[in-house]
Structure 1
Amino acid sequence: MIVSIRNFFPEDKPLVDQVVRDAWIELATAMPGWNELAPRLGALTANAALSEVLVAELDGEIVGAAGYVGPNQPKPDFFAPEWPMVRLMSVVPKARGHGVGQALLDECIDRAKRDSTTLIALHTTPIMEAAQHLYQRAGFGVVRNLPDMFGVPYVLMTRLF
């Protein structure tokens, strides 16, 4: 199976939005605030003009996506404005274990290096166990705990270059 990463095209919107929903739906029972989060899952493509949306294909099928938000682009206040960040990384369950998440993360890291930054950041919840392992293996460490979001704890993580 071959994983490839490419830039998002507007015509990808319906498929990418579905991939994000499919990737996150398993959290519905674990997140008390799911009903608040669910409508926000379209934010990746809705904000495509403010970031770089990456699309992951496995053997030609869209199975993942992530946002790369560059330095000084709009982002939540708990990120320093100059930090690039990974946003809403999503991989459909059937594609997990094939390197899709790693490929998306590697591409975000490459873009941060392209932008001459010294680190990249993300926020995540510990209930996303597979993502936690991926981020830790890639050299990300917890900077601090963030206020709970959608009824679950979140952490801010960074990786230095």
Structure 2
Amino acid sequence: MSVKIRCYRETDKLAVDQVVRDAWIELASVMSGWDELAPRLGALTANANDVEIMVAELNDKIVGTVGYVAPNKPKPDFFAPEWPMIRFMSVLPAGRGHGVGQVLLDECIQRARRDNAQLIALHTTPVMEAAQHLYRRAGFEMVRHLPDMFGVPYVLMTKPLDESNATTQLKN
């Protein structure tokens, strides 16, 4: 089975929202703020005008999604405005082990390079162990701890895209 990546279409809204919910539901038991987070899981498609959303398909079924927020698009203030950002990487359990997360991550990195970004950023929580492993393997490094969100710690991670300028681009 090969993973097919394509751009989000408005007709994908319900399926993409369901993928995000189904991918994140396993965190409900470890996030004391789950009741606050759960209503926000539709934020990816709700912000489709400011986010490039990609979907991953296996056998013509959407099994993963991610948002790419380009430089100078709205994002949380702990990201520098010029940093592109990865948002709501979500892979259904049925899509895991097929390289879906890697392909979605690679697509975001390609878009950041397209936008001539010096680095790409994301925020994540250590409770997402598989995602942390994927990000570290791809060259992301933790920049700093962020305030807890939804009852769990979060970290800011970046990946330099131009090795010569990487350390000068980090926001303190």
Q: Give the TM-score band, short-chain normalised.
A: over 0.9
Match of 1:123? Answer: 123
Structure-to-structure mapping, 1:82-121, within 5 angstroms: 82-121=82-121
- For the aligned residues, what is the CA RMSD? 0.4
Question: In structure 2, what residue type is equivalent to 1:81?
Answer: P
Moved over 2 A (4+): none
Partner secondary structure for residue 55 of structure 2 = strand
Provide the C-alpha distance between the structure 2 equivalents of 1:126 and 1:74, rounded to a whole number of angstroms: 25
Q: 2:139 aligned with 1:139, yes or no?
A: yes
**Structure 1 gap segments, 5+ residues each:** none
TM-score, normalised by the number of residues in structure 2: 0.93
Deviation digits for residues 97-143 of structure 1 (CA, Å, limit 9, x no counterpart): 10000000000000000000110000000000000000000000000
Match of 1:21? Answer: 21
TM-score, normalised by the number of residues in structure 1: 0.99
Q: 2:58 aligned with 1:51, yes or no?
A: no
Deviation digits for residues 8-67 of structure 1 (CA, Å, limit 9, x no counterpart): 000000000000000000000000000000000000000001110111111211000000
Q: Rg larger in 1 or in 2?
A: 2
Provide the C-alpha distance between the structure 2 equivalents of 1:41 and 1:14, rounded to a whole number of angstroms: 12
The total of aligned residue pairs comes to 161
**Structure 2 gap segments, 5+ residues each:** 162-172
Match of 1:157? Answer: 157
CA apart distance, 1:84: 0.1
Partner secondary structure for residue 13 of structure 1 = helix
Q: 2:77 aligned with 1:77, yes or no?
A: yes
CA apart distance, 1:73: 0.1
Identity %: 73
